Amino acid sequence: MKVDYLIVGQGLAGTVLSYQLIKAKKKVVVINQTNRKSSSHVAAGLYNPITGRRMVKTWLADELFPYLEAFYSDMEQVLETRILMKSGIYRPFLSIEEQNEWMAKSADPMFSDYLEGIVQSSSQLGIKDPYGGLALKYSGYLDVSLMLDQYKRYLLENEAYIESAFDENMLVVNQEDVSYEGITANKIIFCAGVNDASGRFFNWLPFNPVKGDIISIKSEIPINKIINRGVYIIPQGNGTCRAGSTYSWDDLTDVATEKGKSEMMRKIEELIDSPYQVEDHQVGVRPATDDRRPFIGQHPALKPLYIFNGLGTKGVSLAPYFALEFLAYLEGRKELHEEVNINRYFSLY
Ligand SMILES: Cc1cc2nc3c(=O)[nH]c(=O)nc-3n(C[C@H](O)[C@H](O)[C@H](O)COP(=O)(O)OP(=O)(O)OC[C@H]3O[C@@H](n4cnc5c(N)ncnc54)[C@H](O)[C@@H]3O)c2cc1C
């Protein structure tokens, strides 16, 4: 078999990138070993333009956010499945001073596009928000796990998917192409998440993997909006909510621990005052990077080899825009954004 692109990994990165390539009429084969504990399968899928303790616009928000909803809506048509839940996000204020501060900031053009409004008093039984909160828009969540399953089905129907563990030792790298188990590809793109950090070809890149816990809860007083402060709580529409997440750089196993669960519960109890039960607990390791920017580009010495990785904590919002940018780069139409191009680390190779 001869293809334009061989993609290793079908998490969020491999999915979004291969979808952009197929839309551009490229012949693609994806090799993936399904792992229900992968970062993508456990992710909450939240996208949110204003984040962090200091509540600032996320990096490149004005480029990423207008495009992402259009991208996933297009995927929904092809997959015939709803995967994107557009929804506001509510962030309770901690003090009246904070409320006043946001009343002033809300007119600032830097934020105004992303603000639905300021809620000045407690908004819903069950939520701890005595001073009201900030209502954000252009946000919501992607059902990443459902998207991966449906997209795999789509790839299988198009004979573009191989369920298998990719063995790097079997890859033959030539000047102009690669071959692997009977497949010849002009280019191979590694999208194997944290596995690329210990792989043969891209282990010199400064990955900084971070484990996270996510739990499913059933609250006695139903929570009917996404709340985000310290942790996020996302109603799933069936009475349960998913709540996440923690950040651990020490324990990078895929084992769910009591410590992770109790940290999540402590944070949830700062946000809601309704009794609840924990129904499920999952963990995953995010492919994050030292400088918190993705790793995209061509291998410094082995020219047919590329990587699309390092999506860290924000894969849902970063992947569509950067897959499109990467496509333009692969077709020789555009240079890569210098903050994501792996050539910033060529000195480490
Ligand atoms: C608890 C938690 C919550 C999160 N919440 C959010 C959120 O709300 N919003 C957000 O934007 N992001 C969130 N993330 C981050 C998000 O999951 C990542 O940014 C993104 O999913 C990374 O995708 P990936 O495809 O690069 O990696 P992965 O998901 O790790 O996918 C890699 C794929 O490659 C496969 N693979 C690896 N090695 C091989 C091999 N040798 N052969 C074949 N296949 C291989 C793996 O099995 C997997 O299928 C969260 C992550 C965690 C852990």
The pick from 190, 241, 245, 286 for probing ligand 1's pocket by mutation, whose C-beta has the most ligand atoms within 8 angstroms, reads 286
pLDDT > 70: percent of the chain: 100
Å from CA of 183 to ligand 1 middle: 25
Q: Of 262, 286, 310, which marks where a domain is finished?
A: 286
The pick from 71, 313, 317, 318 for probing ligand 1's pocket by mutation, whose C-beta has the most ligand atoms within 8 angstroms, reads 313
149 shares its domain with 195: yes
Q: Of 286, 303, 334, which marks where a domain is finished?
A: 286
Q: What is the pLDDT of residue 255?
A: 97
Domain with residue 234: its CATH number is 3.30.9.10
pLDDT band at 113, cuts 50/70/90? Answer: confident
**Average confidence (pLDDT) over 10-31:** 98
Å from CA of 321 to ligand 1 middle: 17
Ligand 1, pocket residues at CB < 6 Å:
8-14, 31-33, 35, 38-40, 42-46, 165-166, 191-195, 212, 214, 244-245, 284, 286-287, 309, 311-317
Å from CA of 254 to ligand 1 middle: 12
Number of domains in the chain: 2
Å from CA of 35 to ligand 1 middle: 9
Q: What is the pLDDT of residue 90?
A: 96
Q: Are strands 89-92 and 133-136 parallel, antiparallel or unpaired?
A: antiparallel
Å from CA of 93 to ligand 1 middle: 32
The rounded distance, in Å, linking the Cα atoms of 341 and 293 is 9
**Counts of helices then strands in the chain (DSSP H, E):** 8, 21
Å from CA of 133 to ligand 1 middle: 31
Beta bridge partners of 233: 227, 243
For residue 240, pLDDT over 90 is answered with: yes
277 shares its domain with 235: yes
231 shares its domain with 194: no
Say if 80 falls within a structural domain.
no
Say if 14 falls within a structural domain.
yes
Q: What is the pLDDT of residue 235?
A: 96
pLDDT band at 279, cuts 50/70/90? Answer: very high
Residue range 246-257, pLDDT digits in tens: 999 999 999 999
Nearest atom of ligand 1 to the alpha carbon of 246: 1
202 shares its domain with 297: yes
Q: Of 265, 286, 307, which marks where a domain is finished?
A: 286
For residue 313, pLDDT over 90 is answered with: yes
168 shares its domain with 278: no
Q: What is the pLDDT of residue 56?
A: 86
Q: Determine which residue's CA is closest to atom 18 belonging to ligand 1.
A: 315
Say if 31 falls within a structural domain.
yes
3-state SS class at 113: coil
257 shares its domain with 295: no
Say if 168 falls within a structural domain.
yes
Q: Determine which residue's CA is closest to atom 21 belonging to ligand 1.
A: 40
262 shares its domain with 226: yes
Say if 113 falls within a structural domain.
no
271 shares its domain with 151: no
- 322 sits in the region (left: phi over 0; alpha: psi -120 to 50; else beta) called alpha
Residue range 135-182, pLDDT digits in tens: 999 999 999 999 999 999 999 999 999 999 999 999 999 999 999 999
265 shares its domain with 331: no
Nearest atom of ligand 1 to the alpha carbon of 311: 19
Q: Which domain holds residue 330?
A: 2-44+145-206+290-348
Q: What is the pLDDT of residue 237?
A: 84
The pick from 8, 12, 227 for probing ligand 1's pocket by mutation, whose C-beta has the most ligand atoms within 8 angstroms, reads 12
Nearest atom of ligand 1 to the alpha carbon of 15: 25
- To 10 degrees, what angle do helices 315-330 and 12-23 make? 40
Q: Determine which residue's CA is closest to atom 37 belonging to ligand 1.
A: 192
Give kind and range of the element (H or E) at residue 48. none
pLDDT band at 126, cuts 50/70/90? Answer: very high
Q: Determine which residue's CA is closest to atom 4 belonging to ligand 1.
A: 43
201 shares its domain with 150: yes
Domain with residue 342: its CATH number is 3.50.50.60
Å from CA of 64 to ligand 1 middle: 19
Could you tell me if 17 and 189 are in contact, meaning their C-beta atoms sit under 8 angstroms apart? Answer: yes
Nearest atom of ligand 1 to the alpha carbon of 199: 41
Say if 123 falls within a structural domain.
no
Q: Determine which residue's CA is closest to atom 50 belonging to ligand 1.
A: 43
In this structure, the dihedral spanned by the alpha carbons of residues 262, 265, 266 and 271, taken in order and rounded to 10 degrees, is 170
Say if 69 falls within a structural domain.
no
For residue 59, pLDDT over 80 is answered with: yes
Average pLDDT for the chain: 96
198 shares its domain with 319: yes
Say if 216 falls within a structural domain.
yes
Q: What is the pLDDT of residue 342?
A: 98
Q: Radius of gyration of the chain from Cα atoms?
A: 21
Q: What is the pLDDT of residue 107?
A: 86
Q: What is the pTM of this model?
A: 0.97
282 shares its domain with 314: no
**Average confidence (pLDDT) over 198-215:** 98
